[in-house]
Amino acid sequence: MKRFFAALCGAALTAALFAPAALAYQGPSVSCEAYIVMDADTGQVIMEKNADEVLYPASITKIMTMALALEKAQGQLDTQLTVSYDAVHQLEYGSSHIALQEGELVRLEDVLYGTELESANDGANVLAEYIGGTIQGGVDAMNQKAAALGLANTHYMNPHGLHDDDHYTTARDMATITRWALSVPGFEEIFCRTDPWTMAPTNKQPQERVFHCTDWMRISGDYYRTYAKGSKNGFHDQALTTFVNYAEQNGVRLISVELKCQMLEDKFRDACAILDYAFENFSRVEIPAPAEAFQVPVVGGGEALGNALVQPQSATALLNKNLTTDGITVDYQIPDRYVLGQPFAASVTYSLPENDYQPSALGSATLSVSGVSEVLAASTYIPASSLEPEQNPVAIAVAAAAAAMALVLGVRLWRKAGAKRPAAASGAQWEIITRKPLPAEPPPWQTRATDPAPRSRTKPPGRD
C-alpha cells in the first residue's frame, strides 16, 4: 500500500505565477485537428490540442514498424530478406511502394530506407514479416509494443497505415511511440536522413532504385527550418494528412505530431508554426529541490530496523517565458516501508497551477534514499570473535605459553585425583553470537524532518 504526501514549493500558490492579465495566450494558428509537442528527453508535454482524440495515423504507422525491425536487428542491417507473395499482393491498388517482387532477395537496410523515404507499403509488409514471421505476426508485435508503452488509444491492423476503421491512434500516443523509437539504435539515423539512398540491383531487379527525402522542412523553400532533423508523413482519404517531426535547437529536442491536416501543404505550415512558437517561447529551467525530507521505516526479517531518509532532488523542465517556477506544486509518492530485497520506488511530481500558457504537468523525478547502509550496519549480528581487537604475534606467543602451562598443571592434578576421565560433553559447543551495540545518539537520518500529514494526490484527468 502506498501513501501520498503533498507540499508546496515557494510562498506563492497561484497568483505569483502569472504576469499581468493583459498577457493573453497567443498560440500558433493551425488547421490540423490535433497536435502535440513533447520534450524528447523527458516526455514533458509543452503544447497540445485535442491530443487524446482518436484519429487515423496513415503512414506514420511505419514509425512503429521500422523501430521494431531495428530493435530485432540489433545492428545487423545486412540481413537478407526474401520478399513473399503476401508482402507484394496484400496491398490496395495505387498505394506507395518500391516495386518489390515475390522471391526478391533484399537487404534489411534497403527496405528500411525505402519504407522511411518513399513510405513503401510493400517495404512495411516485408518488415512486418521479418519482425513476426508473417504480416499478422508483425502486427501482433506492434500491438504488444503499444500495450507495453501504456498506450490505450492505439491499435494496429496492418504495418503500413492503409485505412481500416480499427487502425487508429492519438497525437499523444504517436509522440510516445516516436520518443521510444528514437531510443532504438539506428532509428534516428534513418529517420533523419535527407540525402538520397541507393538500393543496389537484386536477383529480380537489375536496376538501382533511388529513394528521396520529401520533407520540405529539411530540404529547401519557404518551410525549410534548420532545427528540423527527422520526420515521417502520411496520407489517405480518411486520415487526411499526418506528420511527425523531430527537431533540435539550443540543446532542446522536441517531438511534434500533427493529425488530420486538411491539405498537403498544411502539414508543413502547421508544423512550422507549432515548432517556431515552441522554440521561441520555451526554455529549459531548473526546479530547485524542495527542503522537505521524510523518514521511512527500513524493514527486514519481519522487523523494523531503523529509518531511511527520503529527499527530493532538483529537476529540469521546459517553461514558457511568461511563467516562473514560483508556486509549483510538489506531489510526493512514497511507499510506507523500505523492505530489504525489494524495489523501492519513490518519486516526486512537479506541476504548475492551471494557466493559459502550457499544460500543468512539468514532469517527475526520483527521490534519493540515504541511511539504509547505516541502518544495516547497526542491525547486523556478528560472531563475538570478530569483535575482538587485532592481536600481534607477541601476544599470541604469550597466550600459547600460558595455555601450555595450564595444560601441564591440569594433567598433574588429574593424575593425583585417580586418573578419572571427564564426563562426555552434553552437546555441541556453539560460538557465542553477540549484537553490536546501537549508537548512544540516534543517527542523523532519524532526526531530520517528520512526515507531514498525508493526503490524497490529485491526479490529472485520465485519457478516454
Mean predicted confidence (pLDDT) in 78-82: 98
pTM, two decimal places: 0.76
pLDDT of residue 184: 98
Residue 436 pLDDT: 30
pLDDT tier at 26, thresholds 50, 70, 90: low
Cell of 378: 547497526
Judged by average pLDDT, the poorest of 107-116, 217-226, 276-285, 327-336 is 327-336
- What single DSSP character describes residue 40? T
Per-residue pLDDT reduced to its tens digit, 258-288: 999 999 899 999 999 999 999 999 999 999 8
pLDDT, tens only, 231-253 = 999 999 999 999 999 999 999 99
How far is the CA of 332 from the CAs of 117, 271, 285, 451, in angstroms?
45, 36, 21, 11
CA 136 from chain centre, in angstroms, equals 28
Task: Please say if the pLDDT value at position 309 is more than 70.
Answer: yes
User: Counting Cβ atoms within 10 Å, is residue 187 exposed (0-12), middle (13-18) or buried (19+)?
Assistant: buried
Give the pLDDT of residue 92: 87
In this prediction, residue 25 carries a pLDDT of: 52
Report the pLDDT value the prediction gives residue 393, as an integer from 0 to 100.
52
Calculate mean pLDDT across residues 381-397. 47
pLDDT of residue 140 exceeding 70: yes
The per-residue pLDDT for 410 is 43
Q: Which residue has the cell 504548475?
A: 352
pLDDT in tens, 311-336: 988 899 999 999 998 889 999 999 99
Q: What is the mean pLDDT of residues 368-383?
A: 79
Q: Is the pLDDT of residue 435 over 80?
A: no
Q: Is 405 exposed, middle or buried (0-12, 13-18, 19+ CB in 10 A)?
A: exposed
Q: How far apart are CA 420 and CA 299, in angstroms?
A: 54
Q: If pLDDT is split at 50, 70 and 90, which confidence band does 392 have?
A: low
